[in-house]
Structure formats: structure tokens, C-alpha cells
Amino acid sequence: MVSLGKICKLEILSKSDQSLVLDGAEFGELWLPICEAPNDSKIGMLIEVFVYRPSADEIAVTTKRPVAEVGDCGSFRVVSVNDVGAFLDLGIDKDLFVPFNEQRKKLRAGSTCIAFVYLDKYSQRLTASTKLNRHLLEESDSLEVGQKVDLKIWERTDLGFKAIINNQFLGLLFEHDAYRSLKIGEDLIGYIKTVRDDKKIDLIISKNNRESHNELEGLILDCLSESRGTLDITDKSNPKVIYDKFRVSKKQYKQALGKLYKKKLINITREKIALV
């Protein structure tokens, strides 16, 4: 199946000095410039290309990777703004259009934004929106407490951060559940903290249960073994250093170190922790 705005695997039908002819199924034969073709291209071979409509009567393909496909959110640079809307750098030869009525805040050339990519229902051309709440769900019946999810930080609020969940939902990450400084557009792993009675979604960026505490203790011991019995990440270390290494808060890390110390498995000094 060939889908507009998606990376698809298409078969090479023929090859010349100028282009590859690909089987575009319902779109017919599609031409890929030879300069973009893989060096080992052969007739009958499947290659990955991004399929899009650069104009109303044209279908194009490219091996260049877009910032985001249809149905996904991405972080984009604003290339230009005119009297009909803004244009974002999609990472291919064609810029991505954002109509004024799909702009949460007025976009300015040279700035960056997070946008959802979709197909315009009339033109079937790639379009984007920074009004994510129009395209993503803010309520869920399917997400479960403790479920591991992919997050992208969307915007700051008075309570913390709004985040995109699995390119499908919007949730809230409270300030005290972030554990460290976060950047707009940052991608990270998180977990469903709660699904409220109104089905709104609260998030956390590390597990907080007995099973995960045991996992953390084991991970610390494994890291110590791999680093010849010592590690310079202590209970005094910067929270970001702790999170980057173990994906937990400083509080959780300190608790795990305390349990390992009580079990007489490690020694702790200000500069390092060490296996007993």
C-alpha cells in the first residue's frame, strides 16, 4: 500500500541514467532522481521513499527523511511567512504549509515550533497545525497506569508541562513529577501516572513502585560491576546526571542507594559509591 505523507517501500521497475521508475500502485509509475538512488539499486529491489504531493496534479518521491510523517508531531524551523500562512522546513525539497487558522500563536520566520502533520482533506497535500488539541486526544480509555509511553514536551503551563503521548494524546506532567529541567521539543520516555475521572491524563517520567525500585537497585549494582566497582554518581550528584544515567529522580536514586547501603552491598562517600 502506498500512502501519501508516509515512508513506503516501493519496487524499482526500471533504471536509467536520470532516474529510477518505481511502482506507485494506485498512483502509477513514480520517478526518483538517480542522484537520490541507493548505490546498489537494482530492478526488482524495494527501496524506502517518502511519498508526497508537491502540487495538485503531481505525486513525488524522495529518499530524504522528513522531520515527521502524516499523523506525527515534529519540531520544525519556520522558513518563511506570507499572507496565507507559514512554511516549515520538512527536511525535503518541499516546505510544509501551516495556514493561519491552524497557528496557536503567530509564527515568525527563523523561530521553531511543534506541529502536527496531516493531509488536507481537499487537496491531499501535506499541511501542519500547531493547534495540537485539534488533532490529538486529551482523554483516553485505552491508556493504563504505569504504561510506558513516548513523550515529546509541547509547552510549559502554570502546573508544569503539556506533553504529546505516542503522537496520539496530550497529557500533563506536573512540575514535581519532572524531576529535572525539560526543554520544549525534547523527546523522552515517560509513564502514565494517572487517568483521572474526567479521563484526562497525568504523566511521570520515571516509575514509582516497588518493582521499579528493585530494578533500580539491580541496575546500580550492574553499573558498579561494569565500572570496576566504583561509580562517581552519588546522592550528592546533579539530578540531571542521575536522570541521564538511570532515568529516575534524585530522590528515588538516594532511596535505592540507602537500601543497598543497609544491605551492606555498597559504601557511599561524597565523591563516589563502591561495591563492598
- Residue 14 C-alpha cell reads as 526500471
pLDDT tens, position by position, 143-180: 998 899 999 999 999 999 999 999 999 999 998 887 67
pLDDT computed for residue 22 by the predictor: 97
Q: How far apart are CA 234 and CA 35, in angstroms?
A: 52
Residue 101 is given by DSSP the state G
Looking at 2.60.40.10, 2.40.50.140, 3.40.50.10320, 2.40.33.10, the CATH number of the domain 73-134 comes to 2.40.50.140
pLDDT computed for residue 245 by the predictor: 83
pLDDT computed for residue 211 by the predictor: 45
- Evaluate whether 73-134 and 210-275 have a shared fold: no
Q: How far apart are CA 10 and CA 31, in angstroms?
A: 11
Q: How remote is the C-alpha of 36 from its chain's centroid?
A: 26
Answer for the pair 49, 63: CB distance below 8 angstroms, yes or no: yes
Answer for the pair 95, 79: CB distance below 8 angstroms, yes or no: yes
Q: What is the mean pLDDT of the chain?
A: 91
pLDDT computed for residue 241 by the predictor: 85
User: Picking from 19-23, 69-73, 213-217, which range would have the lowest pLDDT averaged per residue?
Assistant: 213-217
- Say which residue the cell 509513564 belongs to: 191
pLDDT tens, position by position, 90-129: 999 999 999 999 999 999 999 999 999 999 999 999 999 9
Residue 117's contacts (CB-CB under 8 Å, 6 or more residues apart) are 5, 68, 69, 70, 71, 72, 73, 74, 96, 126, 127, 128
Residue 12's contacts (CB-CB under 8 Å, 6 or more residues apart) are 20, 21, 22, 41, 42, 43, 44, 45, 46, 47
Of 29-33, 204-208, 249-253, highest mean pLDDT? 29-33
| pLDDT band at 210; cut points 50, 70, 90 | very low
| pLDDT band at 207; cut points 50, 70, 90 | low
Domain 210-275 has CATH 3.40.640.10: no
Architecture of domain 7-62: Beta Barrel (2.40)
- The candidate with the shortest Cα–Cα distance to 230, out of 221, 219, 239, 238, is 221
- The answer to whether residue 208 scores a pLDDT higher than 70 is no
Q: Domain extents for the chain?
A: 7-62, 73-134, 148-204, 210-275
pLDDT tens, position by position, 211-254: 456 778 888 998 999 888 999 999 888 888 887 788 777 888 88
Q: What is the CATH number of domain 148-204?
A: 2.40.50.140
Cα dihedral sign for 184, 187, 188, 194? positive
Query: Could you tell me where the beta strands, DSSP code E, fall in the chain?
Result: 7-15, 19-23, 29-33, 46-55, 58-62, 73-81, 85-88, 96-99, 112-119, 126-129, 148-156, 160-165, 169-174, 187-195, 201-204, 230-231, 266-268, 273-275
- Residue type at 27 in one-letter notation: F
